[in-house]
Structure 1
């Protein structure tokens, strides 16, 4: 019985990297998007007037939300690809 330690280490590293990206990376991106969206919002002044927020922050937040949404949709499609192929006849990946 041969144990391939290098192959086991490579597989473990792949799982750890994927876990960090999807387990902590996407929530981190979402949090950054919320923070940028908040700084890009209109802040009322003391006298009641509103000042237009930073538009760059708001558009960056929208871009981050689009990346997170795309990652979630791709992940769901990747997980359900065999069911979609079986029931609908559509090959995704």
Structure 2
């Protein structure tokens, strides 16, 4: 029995990196988007609310779009064989 330690190590590193990106990276991006979205909103004592900075809102929306795109691409990547089998559409 011949064990290829280099391919085992390479696969392990790929799994760890993917876990860090998708397991911690996407929630971190989402949290940063929420924080940016809330930046600058303030309520005065009389009850009026002033809107936050427009640039931070636009950046927050861009971050949310990245997170949503990553989730959609991930789901499509996982289900690509089923989509090909049932619908005849080759994705990747």
Query: Is the structural similarity TM-score above 0.5?
Result: yes
Looking at structure 1, the residues matched to 16 and 77 of structure 2 have their Cα atoms a distance apart, in angstroms, of 19
State the shift of 1:56 in Å: 1.0
Match of 2:17 in 1: 17
Looking at structure 2, the residues matched to 80 and 50 of structure 1 have their Cα atoms a distance apart, in angstroms, of 45
Consecutive unaligned residues in structure 2, runs of 5 or more: none
**More deviation in 31-40 or 43-52?**
43-52
Match of 1:35 in 2: 35
State the shift of 1:46 in Å: 2.4
Post-superposition CA distance 1:46-90 (Å, at most 9, x none):
243433311111111000000000000000000111111111111
Looking at structure 1, the residues matched to 84 and 37 of structure 2 have their Cα atoms a distance apart, in angstroms, of 38
Structure 1 segments (4+ residues) deviating >2 Å: 46-52
The secondary structure found in structure 1 opposite 2:89 is: coil
Paired residues, what number?
92
Alignment of 1:77 with 2:76, yes or no, is yes
The secondary structure found in structure 1 opposite 2:90 is: coil
RMSD of aligned Cα (Å): 1.2
Match of 1:53 in 2: 52
Give the TM-score, by structure 1 length.
0.91
Match of 1:86 in 2: 85
Match of 2:8 in 1: 8
